[in-house]
Amino acid sequence: MSEDPGSTAEYYDVDDVEKAIQALSKAEHVRLRHISLDRAQVLDSYPDQIAPELLAEAVLRTLDGRRRWRKGVDFLYHLDQAMRSIANSWCKRHTETSLGAEPEVIVALAEKEFEAGQEWLLRSEPRQDHVLMRKERLKWIRAAFSDDAEASEVLEGWAMEMTGPEIQETSGMSKKTFEAAARRIRYQVVRSELDRGV
């Protein structure tokens, strides 16, 4: 829809996107579900509720050209980056409206930028506790691993922007131990128990 004819050769078109969606395998669908749950962690205490809206919005934006899929980029990776950016922009808007915007500003914002998935913005009134939730989220994830020293070390390393090899070197952890810990974290985050922040 909003294609720039000068650069269409760099991007896949709507037909390509539809074909890629139709061709997704069972494992890819499950992987997408896990990615959307991961990206939805910043949005709500109940990521499982907002994750489908986040994914739907990423797919819609890809189809209508607002977030074009660059050639050579893996489709799932493209959707992941789209969800990351959408979640950030929803967060930003939500935080801005939480920090003192007048109700009419919120309504105007919602009317102006209402899109699929943004029902969340309207449904969840801007509240300080959402901002707080984002600040507390990592604490909840950490708490889930309070009895798991290796996973805790990996989490701390990740929070400090360390790479896997850096974490292994600093902690003396083997690659296998690191990968197993990373998997436990991944698994916990996509589990529903963590959705409630417990």
Q: Which residues bind other proteins (CB under 8 A)?
A: 1, 14, 18, 21-22, 24-35, 38-39, 41-42, 52, 55-56, 59-60, 63-64, 76-77, 80, 84, 92, 95-96, 99-101, 116, 134-139, 141, 155, 158-161, 182-183, 185-187, 189-192
Query: Locate tokens 């004819």: which residue?
Result: 5
- Nearer residue to other proteins within complex by CB, 55 or 121: 55
- Nearer residue to other proteins within complex by CB, 41 or 168: 41
Minimum gap (Å) between residue 6 Cβ and other proteins: 22
- Nearer residue to other proteins within complex by CB, 135 or 176: 135
Q: How far is CA 165 from CA 2, 154, 170, 180, 186, in A?
A: 42, 11, 9, 14, 18
Q: How far is CA 133 from CA 51, 97, 106, 164, in A?
A: 16, 15, 20, 27
Minimum gap (Å) between residue 99 Cβ and other proteins: 6
117: left (phi over 0), alpha (psi -120 to 50) or beta: left
Minimum gap (Å) between residue 95 Cβ and other proteins: 6
Minimum gap (Å) between residue 10 Cβ and other proteins: 21
Alpha-carbon distance of 24 to 102, in angstroms, equals: 44
